Structure 1
């Protein structure tokens, strides 16, 4: 099933048809974490902020982009994303949070969409690695973990920017890569992405039931392979010539000197 990310004006929200009002992000208490927030490309220059509240009208601003504190926000205008990072959240920090953009016009509301953070000492859903990387044309593997209470829930791997999801038990091929999900039926499922393209880079999430956890994927260009193949014949000849040219010149000089001395000795008159 594909969960579309609907644009309502500029305000982003997840379609009610998807069965989700907002992503429910699983967070481990006492540990660092990071999540992405997307925004419309028209808002690249606008100030970004992070706030907390059950409704937009009573949202308490916690941090602005490029400020330090409990939450650190970093804006990436080229990707239309800003990230929210923290070092230590407690279970009491659970609740609704908003990814938001400051409009600044008098009488115009700021724009945002909400996420729910479930903060647990042992999260019911997690990922072995929160960031993975691979080379173009290669493949990557991501292992997503879940508690025993979630073993019968639907397992999915979704791309955040368009909410396109791949479901365990199916093999789907998109324009970007082939995705396979295998569930061990106990405590984990593994995502295998093959034929990676540079455009596959971005944020994804493991989804189990009503819980999600973010994973960042970075795809790079292949490094130039260092080979020991034979050099072209003409190149080898050139290198040999450069190597032995001084020796040849010295030999020619010696031969010339010997010839000159020999000629002079033959021309020398016999002694009386």
Structure 2
């Protein structure tokens, strides 16, 4: 029975790959005759990471695709029709792990031990029915000795009513760029010197010419989610987790730990 189950799974995987290949062939054909790339989504996201480093990337999708397969795709020369699927959702292949969060309509991609050869174009992708091309969002990742834009911690946490701070580092070439703190899927951002967002949390941004610091006070549970430090077209993802208010017992225990 175990062998039969494995054979069925391998057959389904081969069928899935043929289906995706057919869609890519159609997309490639359209790409060749029109000269345009068949992708959907907003402007290309640009990210940089230090050689040997790791990165977690959130990929959002429409709720109607909750039951659809998701995958992470790579092509060094930025042509989606020729990209190679590195991993599907909820599997790990080599140094790539993809985890789907259907209750929140996004999946995360974790890439580890990144090297210069990993520089190139990537796509967050959702398989669609029929022979139409898949829904995709394009990113370009550059792996270099010193990233243009990065964060001290890519995952921060705080308690309801408390504060958190995030340090966003940047190279000298970005000193004159507008510094922004944005929430994914939110068209508004916080920028240095002013607040322009639909969120109610108090946010302050200070810039010292080498890095800018984001301070969020009066945290709410709804502030949990993915954000990014943004300079020009470059961004660095940060995951914020807000938990409930500390109880007196937890407060005492944390005090002892300190």
Name the CA distance, whole Å, in 2 between partners of 1:176 and 1:88.
Answer: 38
| 2:228 matched residue in structure 1 | 205
SS in 2 for 1:57: helix
In our comparison, the structure showing a higher alpha carbon Rg is 1
| 1:241 matched residue in structure 2 | none
Name the CA distance, whole Å, in 2 between partners of 1:155 and 1:133.
Answer: 22
- Asked if 1 retains the 8 angstrom alpha-carbon contact of 2:188 and 2:196, the reply is no
| 1:35 matched residue in structure 2 | 57
SS in 2 for 1:152: coil
Cα 1:107–1:226, aligned 2, differ >3 Å: closer, same or farther?
A: closer
Cα 1:138–1:206, aligned 2, differ >3 Å: closer, same or farther?
A: same
1:59 and 2:87 matched: no
- Asked if 2 retains the 8 angstrom alpha-carbon contact of 1:132 and 1:140, the reply is yes
| 1:84 matched residue in structure 2 | 109
- Asked if 2 retains the 8 angstrom alpha-carbon contact of 1:172 and 1:180, the reply is no
Runs of 4+ in 1 over 4 A off after TM superposition: none
SS in 2 for 1:13: coil
Cα 1:46–1:173, aligned 2, differ >3 Å: closer, same or farther?
A: closer
- CA drift of 1:172 comes to 4.4
- Alignment deviations for residues 67-123 of structure 1 (CA, whole Å, 9 cap, x no partner): 2122110011111110100211112211111000112x3323221111111211210
Measured on the aligned residues, the alpha-carbon RMSD in Å equals 1.7
Q: What runs of 5+ residues in structure 2 fail to find an aligned partner?
A: 1-38, 251-258
Please, which moves more after superposition, 148-157 or 73-82? 148-157
Q: TM-score scaled by structure 2?
A: 0.76
- CA drift of 1:175 comes to 3.4
Name the CA distance, whole Å, in 2 between partners of 1:33 and 1:163.
Answer: 23
Q: How many residues are aligned here?
A: 209
Show the 5 A alignment for 1:14-25.
Answer: 14=42, 21-25=43-47
1:187 and 2:210 matched: yes
Please, which moves more after superposition, 40-49 or 159-168? 159-168
- Asked if 2 retains the 8 angstrom alpha-carbon contact of 1:176 and 1:199, the reply is no
Name the CA distance, whole Å, in 2 between partners of 1:63 and 1:226.
Answer: 43
- CA drift of 1:22 comes to 1.1
Name the CA distance, whole Å, in 1 between partners of 2:185 and 2:171.
Answer: 27
SS in 2 for 1:166: strand
Residue of 68, 73, 96 corresponding to 2:98 = 73
Q: What runs of 5+ residues in structure 1 fail to find an aligned partner?
A: 1-10, 15-20, 228-272
